[in-house]
Amino acid sequence: MIVKHSLIFIVICGIAGTMSADPMRYPYWQMIKESVSSIEAQPPRPQSISENNHKTNIEYPFEMLRHLRAADLLRAAVEGAQKARLQAALGKSENEIETLVLKNVSLALEYLPMLIRSESDLEEIALLMAKREEDKVLRLYLLQNSFPGFAAPSFLSLSFSEIIPDNEEVFSKWTHHIASHPSEYPELQCVALRICYAKLLQQYNAILINDPAVAILMATTNDQDALTLTQKTPVELSKDTHTALKQCRRKFHNFAFEIAGHIAEGSVRDERVKEITRQILEEMCSTIPNISKGIITTFLEGKPFVSTPFPQLPTEEDSSEIEGSAPPLRLDKLIEQNPPG
């Protein structure tokens, strides 16, 4: 018995030694961890003064990281997640491990926005977010920080979501991919579904706000939700606004088409995904004026529909873009059969 316990002790010590004895096994994670530790070890900086002459305690020591690239932080995050996962060998629970993964990932990526220098940096971030072979906690962290209101306030969440709108296409493509893929992790898919729908509502409101009549109406109230406001107090919209809203409604239809498979008859998707999908389609049907309710109702009833095979993620050698999962000809036919109501 003593021999058995000794062997167990030796094995555990060996695992622990393997995890800590070779710092170069995770060179990027080690580099970022040491840089952040150096930053935290510095004496407190004096309060700075904002443009409005307000004092603030927030200081970001950017100069310590300026020599790095965005890719370095991304690799550090991947390695930090991998290192945290090794704790499973020491008997840590899944919750404990994922908490440590999140801690390492957030440490590695906190200053990511200041190192984004090109569209290729953003493409690399979006692709890391979309790849299902990467750690799901890391992917969820990137996804939540890509749109306001889904992550706790931090330098990353406040800055990252301001950078993305100027390069929206690549993030929108991969967020829709996560929202609609039948093999995606439910935790990520639920967040992606909400983000995709929130972006569509944001676009719809932006179109309304730019209409002269709506702008006058909004000047008379504190209500900044143009969609709700124009439903309560209808106004005469311009021809350009009607055209833009029609194009935006097509995006709602396409999104509904993308996610309808989650609740189609025979679907084995996670119940959380099904619930959020139904909520979105029901709200879309009752909220968006002139949307094709017949199509949405068909989806809510779980009736079968024609769709193309789901696209594959590109490999590192093949970074070609994903094609939309909703065939335009099929959708046009559905709209003709189910006119807006």
pLDDT tier, 47 (very low <50, low <70, confident <90, very high otherwise): low
What are the Cα distances from residue 141, in Å, to 68, 87, 152, 219? 21, 20, 10, 37
pLDDT at 20 exceeding the cut of 60: no
Using one digit for the tens of pLDDT, what is the confidence trace for 307-331? 444 444 444 444 443 333 444 444 4
Of residues 20 and 170, the one with the higher pLDDT is 170
Using one digit for the tens of pLDDT, what is the confidence trace for 220-278? 888 888 999 999 999 999 999 999 999 999 999 999 999 999 999 999 999 999 999 99
The answer to whether the Cα torsion of 106, 109, 111, 114 is positive or negative is negative
Which residue bears the tokens 């935790």? Answer: 187
Residue 210's pLDDT is 95
Using one digit for the tens of pLDDT, what is the confidence trace for 137-195? 999 999 999 999 999 888 899 898 888 887 788 899 999 999 999 999 999 999 999 99
